[in-house]
Amino acid sequence: MEYTQTKEPDVEKPIVIAAMQDMGNVGSIVINFINESLHTTQFRIAKSQFPTYVVDKGGYIDVPIENWEYRFTDRLILFGGGTGQPQNNQELNSLCQDVIDISKKYSAKFIYTLGGFHTNRNLNKNSRTLVTTTSKELTKQMYDMGMETTQKSIITGFNGLILGFAKQNGIQGIGMYGELNDPKIPQYRAAISIIKTLEKLTYRKLGDTSRLEMMAQEVEKSFEN
């Protein structure tokens, strides 16, 4: 993994929100939405040294350049979005550690991550966000706020592993996972649910989700026909 610092962000003790593409593209939808809504500024790039796939252009292939951005705005650092995740543990661990190093550099005290939560429950266009945290004490606070928690499981990929890195480095963290039925299609309702939960937890408005609602309706209509 190669890292390039493009500028020095003007942030002090920010909240960090870090998530990468996962099932239903939930992580990318949320990160990309916040970046666009809050007009964040890029300050660092993480670039994969090894391609995880090639694109067939119809008789010839192209090798994509995979990179992920760090962006900032007032009291907030965002990492991830984009497409894909590293496909080997070395690069995945390197990314997680870099997010921790950046969090420490700018004195961040809290890391949020997010993604999809596959369920067989009939959601009927009503996706809940389930949370897990880096400590029992923090989970109790979530209960007191009326949050529902995840069940016992193993969380793989960046959107789970980053919480482990945070805990090992003494940084509090919360993982938010929006319910979805079909992980193969973009899950905008899960993303909306997470955004609303983030707003409740961070006490800040992250943007108008009406465009995501329209995109959710378009996806649903395409599967009704």
C-alpha atoms less than 13 angstroms from C-alpha of 25 in its C-beta half-sphere: 13
Mean pLDDT of 90-95: 93
Domains of the chain and any CATH numbers: 2-224 (3.40.50.10900)
Question: How many H-runs (helices) and E-runs (strands) does the chain carry?
Answer: 6, 11
Is 169 in contact with 100 (CB distance < 8 Å)? yes
pLDDT digits (tens, 9 = 90+) for 24-76: 999 999 999 999 999 999 999 999 887 777 889 999 999 888 889 999 999 99
Predicted confidence at residue 88, as pLDDT, reads 84
Please report the DSSP string for 17-55 in residue order: EEEE--GGGHHHHHHHHHHHHHT-EEEEEEE-SS-S--E
pLDDT digits (tens, 9 = 90+) for 193-210: 999 999 999 999 999 999
Rounded to the nearest 5°, which phi and psi values hold at 140? -60, -40
Is 219 in contact with 188 (CB distance < 8 Å)? yes
**Reported pTM:** 0.92
Six-digit token string for 63: 């090798």
Looking only at the bridges linking them, the beta strands covering 129-133 and 148-149 are: parallel
Six-digit token string for 39: 């007009």
